Amino acid sequence: MAGTQNRIRAQGPGTARKLTIKPLKSKPKLPEDFETTTWKKLQHAVHAVHGKQPVTVSLEELYRAVEDMCLHKMADRLYANLQQECNTHISAELEKLASSQTIDPVLFLQHMGNCWHDHTSQMLTIRSIFLYLDRTYVISTTGVRSLFEMGLQLFRTHLASHPQVERKTVQGLLQLIKAERQGETVDRTLLKHLLRMFTSLNIYADGFEQPFLEQTAQFYAAEGIQYMQETDVADYLLHSEKRLGEEYERCQQYLDSSTRKALVHAVERQLLEKHMPTILEKGYDALMAEKRVPDLGRLYSLCARIHALEALKQSFREYIKKTGITMIMDEEKDKDMVNLLLEMKANLDTVLHQAFQHNEQFANAMKDAFEHFINQRQNKPAELIAKFIDAELKAGNKGQTDDELEVRLDKALILFRYISGKDVFEAFYKKDLAKRLLLGKSASTDSEKNMITKLKTECGSQFTNKLEGMFKDIDLSKDIMTSFRQAKAVQAKLTDGLDMNVNILTSGYWPTYPTVDAKLPLELNHYQEVFKAFYLSKHSGRRLVWHNSLGTCIVTAHFPKGKKELSVSLFQTVVLTLFNDADSLTFAEIQEASGIEEKELKRTLQSLACGKVRVLLKEPKGREVDSGDTFLFNEAFVASLYRIKINSIQLKETVEENKKTNDQVIQDRQYQIDAAIVRIMKTRKTLSHKLLVSELLVMLKFPIKASDLKKRIESLIDREYLERDEANQNVYNYLA
Amino acid sequence: MVEPFVWQGFYQGYQRYAELISQPPGAQQHNVREGLAQLHCQLQASIAGEPACAVLRAHEFRSQLQDLDRSSFTSLYRFVFFVCRDPGRRNLQVSRAIEAWTILLVGRFRLLEQWCAFVTQHQTQIITEDVWRQVLDFSRSVPEDLGTYDPESAWPVLLDEFVDSVKRNRSSCFGSKRRCIDMDTVSHQLSELTTVEGLVASPPAKRLRIMRSYSVPQPG
């Protein structure tokens, strides 16, 4: 505060002085030699920088000097001079490099690296000194490069005039990279540094990249061929993947990022594209067979890189077809076929999901392949799948929970989906289901119905119609039996100690069974009569036929060593009751008394006298029953259990039965073909043979040969449903 | 000897048959079918079967066959099937069909012999009217080498199988007309070939090679 007051006082009134500023009398002149001296100073500094010596004058002074020169409009000359200086220096430097005797390219690279490093750092120092020039003159004048740019330009020009330097550098670089590829450790910083130089000098693409890619291609072409011969496919793939990773890293570490695409492509082309057909042809099946999921995953991703998934898919399909067909065609393995197929399917699914990334096209290829090979063998796979499901659903197949059962059924159903002859499956399934229902062999009704629902969603209600009808029959039969037992008037007619359960089967739903006659014991016969009368009184107009071959009985046997309950078939019962009145009977006598057909009787007797449980004895002993044999009641029979099952022969499928089911399917197919032909011809009236056949192949759902169709057409001609056209034997007319 | 009334029945029947089937197709179809049915009944009651076959065997019948033109032969050919069936049968037994073919198609069907042999061996018992008619078409339209035969077209299965068997026989012995290769001759020729080669080629070549290898370790 005090100070201020003082100043006011000092300026106060009194002696007021005027300050006048006058222009200079003479314009201050630059010294004559200003430009020369200043430039000398600067030149000296530049020389020091180039010579890597300390600059004697302070940098600030130098900066001022530049500024002064620029202000005095000497910028253009200054620029030219500086350029001249740099030119001389760079020229000399490169000359030195060019004439250097270093033969070792790597050592040469060191020199080159140093040279470049010096150049850049020197140019930076120079630029700092000449900053004013760079900022004013260069920016305001068009067609003049910034100082650093100018340095680069000079470097480039001189490098171009010494092609051997560039060539040597590139060679050295390539050699280093090759060495690195061969597993040696190299100076990556140097590489990076020099490659930056190429980029900075704008000669990367032409000067380095091209020879580099060529060398890469060469290197990997040779390596590909060598490795293909030396290693197995899995290792080769692993190696290729490693190589690709290395090249990626190389790009990150020292190559220019623009090279990446071309480089990776070159590697893919040499290592993968060229050898992929061989890889797939030679190694693919082995990889699949050994379930090498990681390797397959690698193969998949490598194939995806080179757009070879189509080929991989093809190999996948072919592999499935090939292995599938050998599996299907091997008749000795029929027993395990379904299990083997399921196992194969599971393995393929693992591969598909874990290695092939759930690729939908691959899933389709698998489906195609399955459909193809499973139908290569007619009928048998369908039959075996039906039997597989039968075994699963049968009682005694314990040790698995409902969920496990469900999973297995679902899997079998997947196989079923591939089958084109679904009618064969239906026929065998029906036959087996009938046995399960009638002989009470089903594990659980829920599972059974569950399976029917599955089939229904798969093939529609028409397919399961009859199967459902069978269940309905069983339910209805239970009701009928309840009312039969409650009807007192009827029960009065029956003898005590005998109970009977009757299943009433609607003939259309069930498989057809041959009626095998047998002379039943009187009590049973009586019982049947009573039931028949009862049933027909309730449902008049129906016809009741007894299928004795399907009947089962539980009989009590009094052996000297204890009382046993035997669970047997009706025929076995008939035979056994004969021994109520005799201890020994000949085959002929049994046949006479039982009235059972010879083949059936032999099977029955075999089960009683030659099986595990021998309630009868045979004379002479042996495993086969002959019509001259004699049978004795086994007085010494012992068994640990009280109730014994002997009726397993009914469950076993005989050869004739199998053949019959197959014949039935063929018969059904013929009717279907006939119906289809007539249906088509009825609408078309006139149709050529080829068109008719192609329409039939669309319409008919099962596999069929053209000759089968021809036979049916001929048969229809013979039966005068069709005629050949008089003018053209290839055309059929429909006869109304 | 063929009874005169059979001759008469046969010729009258044939004339009526030819007349019926040569009518233009269309509105008359119904009448034709009825007429054929009538004729069928009439022939069944008289000469059908064995008696008609006797006519075929007669020398007089055979000698006239040559002079028939294409369309009359067609109607005669069809009539033969019509009349040779045993009473009550729709089709012709194989033995009778073969006999009829050998009479009718001789000189008209180049594969006649093979065809008859094939049908005899085949398990079929009867020849249907369709097959009977198609055989004539086959003999007329398919050349002897079977080149133009198309198994995809509407030929009856029996003809498909015939063509198959003919082709199989031919491929197994290099054409039907040439004789089969005599394996002994061939093996003899082959054994001679190896001896010649053995004499000329191998020993001198070996000697030469050994000599050269001796001359190497002596540089000038």
DSSP state of A495: P
Query: Which residues, given as ranges, of chain B have pLDDT below 50?
Result: 175-180, 194-220
- In angstroms, the separation between the Cα of residue B92 and the nearest Cα of chain A is 12
Check residue B25 and give its pLDDT. Answer: 62
What is the C-alpha separation between A188 and A173, in angstroms, rounded?
A: 10
Contacts of B78 in chain A (CB under 8 A): none
Check residue B27 and give its pLDDT. Answer: 55
Across the interface, whether the CB atoms of B154 and A710 are under 8 A apart is answered yes
Residue A341 inside a domain? The answer is no
Q: How far is CA A299 from CA A296, A359, A366, A397, in A?
A: 5, 14, 17, 42
Instruction: Tell which residue, B55, B162, B64, B41, has the closest CA to residue B99.
Output: B55
Residue at A731: amino acid letter? V
Which CATH number is A622's domain given?
3.30.230.130
Contacts of B163 in chain A (CB under 8 A): none
Scanning the structure block, which residue is given the tokens 């000038």? B220
Q: How many CB atoms lie within 10 A of CB B88?
A: 8
For CA atoms A271, A274, A280, A282, give the dihedral sign: negative
**Are A195 and A204 spatial neighbours (Cβ–Cβ below 8 Å)?**
yes
Q: Which residue of A has its CA nearest to B21?
A: A726
Contacts of B131 in chain A (CB under 8 A): 714
Residue B185 token pair = 């001759």
Residue A373: pLDDT over 80: yes
Instruction: Tell which residue, A546, A527, A605, has the closest CA to residue A571.
Output: A605
Pick from B129, B153, B157: which is nearest to A711 by CB? B157
Instruction: Tell which residue, A542, A516, A525, A511, has the closest CA to residue A661.
Output: A511
DSSP labels for A519-574?
---HHHHHHHHHHHHHHHHHSTT------GGG-EEEEEEEETTEEEEEEEEHHHHH
A676/A644 same-domain check: no
Q: What proportion of chain A, given as a percentage, has pLDDT over 70?
A: 96
- In angstroms, the separation between the Cα of residue B134 and the nearest Cα of chain A is 8
**Are A195 and A255 spatial neighbours (Cβ–Cβ below 8 Å)?**
yes
pLDDT band for position A395 (50/70/90)?
low
A701/A648 same-domain check: no
Q: Is any Cβ of chain A less than 8 angstroms from the Cβ of B99?
A: no
Instruction: Tell which residue, A133, A126, A148, has the closest CA to residue A200.
Output: A148
Pick from B90, B152, B157: which is nearest to A714 by CB? B157
Across the interface, whether the CB atoms of A730 and B129 are under 8 A apart is answered no
Partner residues linked to B110 by β-bridges: none
Check residue B210 and give its pLDDT. Answer: 36
DSSP labels for A158-201?
HHHH-HHHHHHHHHHHHHHHHHHHTT----HHHHHHHHHHHHHT
Pick from B128, B131, B160: which is nearest to A707 by CB? B160
A115/A47 same-domain check: yes
- In angstroms, the separation between the Cα of residue B153 and the nearest Cα of chain A is 6
Partner residues linked to A585 by β-bridges: A631
Judged on CB neighbours under 10 Å (0-12, 13-18, 19+), A344 is middle
**Are A166 and A181 spatial neighbours (Cβ–Cβ below 8 Å)?**
no
Residue A492 inside a domain? The answer is no
Check residue B205 and give its pLDDT. Answer: 39
A74/A142 same-domain check: yes
Q: Which residue of B has its CA nearest to A727?
A: B25
Structural domain total, chain A? 3
A66/A118 same-domain check: yes
Contacts of A720 in chain B (CB under 8 A): none
Contacts of A685 in chain B (CB under 8 A): none
Residue A350: pLDDT over 50: yes
Residue A584 inside a domain? The answer is yes
Residue A637 inside a domain? The answer is yes
Most A-contacting residue of B30, B124, B157, B164 (CB-CB within 10 A), to test interface: B157
Of residues A413 and A25, the one with the higher pLDDT is: A413
What is the C-alpha separation between B181 and B191, in angstroms, rounded?
A: 16
Across the interface, whether the CB atoms of B130 and A714 are under 8 A apart is answered yes
- In angstroms, the separation between the Cα of residue B157 and the nearest Cα of chain A is 6
Contacts of B28 in chain A (CB under 8 A): none
Contacts of A724 in chain B (CB under 8 A): 130, 133-134, 154
Domain boundary among A169, A184, A212: A169
DSSP 3-state of A275: coil
- In angstroms, the separation between the Cα of residue A552 and the nearest Cα of chain B is 44
Most B-contacting residue of A729, A731, A734 (CB-CB within 10 A), to test interface: A729
Q: Is any Cβ of chain A less than 8 angstroms from the Cβ of B90?
A: yes
A649/A662 same-domain check: no
Mean pLDDT of chain A, nearest integer = 84
Which CATH number is A44's domain given?
1.20.1310.10
Instruction: Tell which residue, B141, B135, B41, B44, has the closest CA to residue B97.
Output: B135
Stretch A313-331: mean pLDDT = 88
Q: Is any Cβ of chain A less than 8 angstroms from the Cβ of B37?
A: no
Q: Is any Cβ of chain A less than 8 angstroms from the Cβ of B131?
A: yes
Stretch A162-175: mean pLDDT = 85
A576/A691 same-domain check: no
Instruction: Tell which residue, A153, A299, A290, A182, has the closest CA to residue A238.
Output: A299
Q: What proportion of chain A, given as a percentage, has pLDDT over 90?
A: 2
Stretch A6-18: mean pLDDT = 60
Q: Residues A468-516: pLDDT tens digits?
A: 999 999 889 989 888 888 887 777 777 777 788 888 888 888 888 877 7
Partner residues linked to A619 by β-bridges: A630
A614/A582 same-domain check: yes
Across the interface, whether the CB atoms of A724 and B129 are under 8 A apart is answered no
Phi then psi for A631, rounded to 5 degrees? -120, 140
Residue A78 inside a domain? The answer is yes
A642/A667 same-domain check: no
Residue A12: pLDDT over 70: no
Check residue B212 and give its pLDDT. Answer: 38
Residue A608 inside a domain? The answer is yes
What is the C-alpha separation between B25 and B22, in angstroms, rounded?
A: 9
**Are A78 and A70 spatial neighbours (Cβ–Cβ below 8 Å)?**
yes
What's the domain range around A153? 34-169
Helix (H) or strand (E) run with residue A620 in it: none
CA A561 to chain centre: 64
Contacts of B134 in chain A (CB under 8 A): 724, 729
Interface list for chain A against chain B, based on CB atoms closer than 8 Å: 688-690, 706-707, 710-711, 713-714, 717-718, 724, 726, 729-732
Check residue B207 and give its pLDDT. Answer: 38
Check residue A364 and give its pLDDT. Answer: 92
Q: Residues A610-624: pLDDT tens digits?
A: 877 888 888 888 778
Q: How many CB atoms lie within 10 A of CB A631?
A: 24
What is the C-alpha separation between A186 and A244, in angstroms, rounded?
A: 19
DSSP state of A727: S
Burial A421-444 (b: 16+ CB within 10 A, else e): bbbbbbbbbbbbbbbbbbbebbbe
Residue A372: pLDDT over 80: yes
A644/A706 same-domain check: no
What is the C-alpha separation between A260 and A274, in angstroms, rounded?
A: 20
Contacts of A710 in chain B (CB under 8 A): 154, 156-157, 160
DSSP state of B177: S
Residue A116 token pair = 């470049």
Residue A383 token pair = 């039959």
Helix (H) or strand (E) run with residue A616 in it: strand A616-619
Interface of B with A in 105-124 (CB under 8 A): none
Across the interface, whether the CB atoms of B153 and A732 are under 8 A apart is answered no
Partner residues linked to A565 by β-bridges: A556, A643
Contacts of A717 in chain B (CB under 8 A): 128, 130
Check residue A270 and give its pLDDT. Answer: 87
A608/A666 same-domain check: no
Residue A73 token pair = 């409009």
Domain boundary among A613, A636, A653: A653
**Are A562 and A638 spatial neighbours (Cβ–Cβ below 8 Å)?**
yes
DSSP labels for A329-374?
H-GGGGGGHHHHHHHHHHHHHHIIIIISTT-HHHHHHHHHHHHHHH
Check residue A143 and give its pLDDT. Answer: 81
**Are A302 and A243 spatial neighbours (Cβ–Cβ below 8 Å)?**
no
For CA atoms B84, B87, B92, B96, give the dihedral sign: negative
What is the C-alpha separation between A199 and A183, in angstroms, rounded?
A: 26
Instruction: Tell which residue, A149, A127, A152, has the closest CA to residue A59.
Output: A127
Q: Is any Cβ of chain A less than 8 angstroms from the Cβ of B164?
A: no
What is the C-alpha separation between B101 and B93, in angstroms, rounded?
A: 12
Stated pTM of the model:
0.67
Q: Is any Cβ of chain A less than 8 angstroms from the Cβ of B163?
A: no
Check residue A14 and give its pLDDT. Answer: 58
Helices vs strands, H then E, count in chain A? 33, 9
DSSP 3-state of A442: strand
Most A-contacting residue of B130, B161, B162 (CB-CB within 10 A), to test interface: B130
What is the C-alpha separation between B191 and B207, in angstroms, rounded?
A: 25
Across the interface, whether the CB atoms of B25 and A689 are under 8 A apart is answered no
Judged on CB neighbours under 10 Å (0-12, 13-18, 19+), A32 is exposed
- In angstroms, the separation between the Cα of residue A578 and the nearest Cα of chain B is 48
Residue A304: pLDDT over 80: yes
Residue A504 token pair = 């009433």
Pick from B90, B91, B137: which is nearest to A729 by CB? B137
A608/A662 same-domain check: no
Is the ipTM higher than 0.90? The answer is: no
Burial B39-58 (b: 16+ CB within 10 A, else e): bbeebbebbbbebbbbbbeb
- Looking only at the bridges linking them, the beta strands covering A643-645 and A562-569 are parallel
Check residue A208 and give its pLDDT. Answer: 87
Contacts of A709 in chain B (CB under 8 A): none
**Are A340 and A373 spatial neighbours (Cβ–Cβ below 8 Å)?**
no
Residue A84 inside a domain? The answer is yes
Domain boundary among A607, A627, A653: A653
Residue A694 inside a domain? The answer is yes
Across the interface, whether the CB atoms of B156 and A690 are under 8 A apart is answered no
